[in-house]
Amino acid sequence: MPRILVTGGCGYIGSHTMVDLLENGYDVVSIDNLSRSDGSSLKGIEQITGKRVVNHKIDLCNKQALDDFFRLDHRFDGVVHFAAFKAVGESVEKPLVYFTNNVVSHINLLECVTRYKIPSFIFSSSCSVYGDIDKMPVSEATPVNAAASPYGRTKQMCEEILFDTAPSTDTGFVSLRYFNPVGAHPTGLIGEKSTEKPNNLVPCITQSALGLMPQVVVHGDDYPTRDGTCIRDYVHVMDLARAHRLAFEKIQKGRRKVEVVNIGTGNGVSVLEMVKTFEKTTGQKLNYRIGPRRAGDVVTIYSDTTKANKLLDWKPKYTVEDMMETAWKWEQHYRRQGVAK
Strand extents, DSSP E, the chain: 3-7, 27-31, 55-56, 78-81, 120-126, 172-178, 180-182, 216-219, 231-232, 234-236, 258-263, 269-270, 288-291
Out of 151, 223, 302, 334, the active site residue is 151
Is 216 in contact with 209 (CB distance < 8 Å)? Answer: no
Using CB atoms within 10 A of its CB, is residue 283 exposed (0-12), middle (13-18) or buried (19+)?
A: exposed
For this structure, is 334 an active site residue? Answer: no
Is 213 in contact with 298 (CB distance < 8 Å)? Answer: no
16: Cα separation from own chain's centroid:
10
Non-local (6+) Cβ contacts of 330 within 8 A are 184, 185, 188, 189, 190, 191, 192, 206
CB atoms within 10 A of CB 32: 27
Across-strand partners of 122?
80, 174
Is 20 in contact with 238 (CB distance < 8 Å)? Answer: yes
Is 123 in contact with 176 (CB distance < 8 Å)? Answer: yes
Q: State yes or no: cis peptide before 137, omega within 30 of 0.
A: yes
Of the CA atoms within 13 Å of residue 221, those in its CB half-sphere come to 9
Query: Mutual orientation of helices 237-252 and 12-23 as an angle, nearest 10°?
Result: 60
Active site amino acids: 151
